[in-house]
Structure 1
């Protein structure tokens, strides 16, 4: 009787962790948390930032360090977007599995070519990323490539879940392709529109839609709009051709509102990443919402 009890206990101890096993994922930005959740809904996912935070500037808080320490997989944008805070998290976490060069660290920007790479970057240029524009999550063509690569990496780290992860990736891809067909139809109506923007947060999607960001409220990337620069923007001849002003929710919209009063251009303040709530709960939902709002803007002007 004792031997059977011991045997049953050993079997339970061996089987239970496998049955309950799930990836522990740390996502630097909400878009990667959303994608990871689509591929592995049973995963324990911690997201470092929100749609109301500038992802360039994040405090390496003890809670984030602890989350990285527990992580099997860290998913970030890369391309120097998190250069001001991610290295500190990785170092202080002392988690060997998620350090640079390890399978546990995944950079989305390394999976696809980026727009506007620079051979030379210095501080005088502002917040310019040498690798290129890192805000690639709003690129309808790049995201399936990134999703496939992430699914492969997750399967590598959790081989017992590979088939489930691949099945969910295929389901995600079908939905994305259907949505992309709808976005292409919307792009035909939006093509040729022009916008005043602040930073490059939406540029991948705008470029894909054929919408041109003709003026930037930032004098240099990452620098807040100054009074002198706003005066130059107001005097810019291309302002007359613009259909509106687009800023992200994490940005100070006061410069955009000032320019709106001077020019009568409408202002769109939109999340540049998922919020977890309708109508921008998921990444496809976010793109739906942005395109819908751009369409409303073009109808009003």
Structure 2
């Protein structure tokens, strides 16, 4: 029996072993991606999610309902790397939950489990919204997610040891499926390598880098600063723009700057969820990556057809 079949057999064997019913763990998730990952490992958890796919996770209000949810939670799962610096410290302070404080087991930061891209030794306001720890938008990196999932499973087991066997078997199941899908994504990446996209912020940076897709001109003049008319006009003179196949923005971002540039360049605009939505076809992180790759493949084919048509029409 080869290793892949053996792993699948062990996963099935673990799945069929019944476990006694236990009380639901109360989890506070800062972003939908971590709520989704917790649900993969502990589907019975009672999860409160602070943000949605339509919100910029950098900026939300520390509402009373979120403070109450944090106060009653057994575990908080957040991105870290200063992504939530504008509101998470306030929630933690006002909730006064002894289990959920920096350095305590009840606060899990995904960014602490992996190495981040583009850390900075020196950060000041002139650079824009730059995170000294590195780019925090790691949740779409096919290689880093298994590291986060394993560390999260360990933390869940430490907090709820009576559910350890169930959590461990779901982690194995998740990793088997993730590895199979990652192999398929790698095949798809071969057809996308060398592609260039105009982007806004670094929401998809980890995935694009993994795919070999270049992030070309950025609609933001500096990280975290909204696009300006002056900057957009400068982009029209950027030589990289000639190599771009499309403009990629997140669903929570204002589409007007992307559409303004599109009308002047003919580039298509691709609006993608920056995180899971809980609904098909982007209900999980794996499904979201599938959806993004399928959309990029379609964009690549459309741009190739458009380029061929322009060549045919040229005198």
If the length of structure 1 is used for normalisation, what is the TM-score?
0.94
Shift of 1:55: 0.2
> 1:65-104 alignment to 2 at 5 Å?
65-104=67-106
Taking the aligned partners of 1:44 and 1:53, their CA distance within structure 2 comes to: 22
Name the SS of the counterpart of 2:139 in structure 1. helix
Gaps of 5+ in 1: 1-17
Name the SS of the counterpart of 1:245 in structure 2. strand
Taking the aligned partners of 1:268 and 1:216, their CA distance within structure 2 comes to: 14
Shift of 1:238: 1.2
The equivalent residue for 2:241 is 239
The equivalent residue for 1:137 is 139
Taking the aligned partners of 1:240 and 1:294, their CA distance within structure 2 comes to: 18
Taking the aligned partners of 2:175 and 2:26, their CA distance within structure 1 comes to: 23
Shift of 1:300: 0.3
> 1:143-292 alignment to 2 at 5 Å?
143-292=145-294
**CA deviation map 1:193-247 (0-9, x unaligned):** 0000000000000000000001100000000000000001111111111000000
Name the SS of the counterpart of 1:138 in structure 2. coil
The equivalent residue for 1:11 is none
Q: Residue 46 in 1 paired to residue 48 in 2?
A: yes
Taking the aligned partners of 1:182 and 1:37, their CA distance within structure 2 comes to: 24
Taking the aligned partners of 2:35 and 2:287, their CA distance within structure 1 comes to: 14
**CA deviation map 1:93-150 (0-9, x unaligned):** 0100011110000000000000000000001110000000000001000000000000
Taking the aligned partners of 1:237 and 1:178, their CA distance within structure 2 comes to: 39
Aligned length: 284
Taking the aligned partners of 1:100 and 1:203, their CA distance within structure 2 comes to: 27
Taking the aligned partners of 2:241 and 2:264, their CA distance within structure 1 comes to: 11
Aligned match for 1:56, one of 55, 58, 61: 58
**CA deviation map 1:229-288 (0-9, x unaligned):** 000111111111100000000100100000000000000000010000110000000000
Taking the aligned partners of 2:98 and 2:286, their CA distance within structure 1 comes to: 34
Shift of 1:20: 4.0
Taking the aligned partners of 1:121 and 1:43, their CA distance within structure 2 comes to: 38
If the length of structure 2 is used for normalisation, what is the TM-score?
0.89
Taking the aligned partners of 1:240 and 1:164, their CA distance within structure 2 comes to: 52
Gaps of 5+ in 2: 1-19, 304-315
Taking the aligned partners of 1:89 and 1:285, their CA distance within structure 2 comes to: 31
The equivalent residue for 2:109 is 107
Taking the aligned partners of 2:156 and 2:24, their CA distance within structure 1 comes to: 10
Aligned-residue CA RMSD (Å): 0.8
**CA deviation map 1:41-79 (0-9, x unaligned):** 010001100111000001000000000001000000000
Taking the aligned partners of 1:48 and 1:19, their CA distance within structure 2 comes to: 28
Taking the aligned partners of 1:252 and 1:212, their CA distance within structure 2 comes to: 22
Taking the aligned partners of 2:127 and 2:165, their CA distance within structure 1 comes to: 46
Q: Is 2:29–2:49's contact at 8 Å kept on the other side of the alignment? A: yes
Name the SS of the counterpart of 1:45 in structure 2. strand
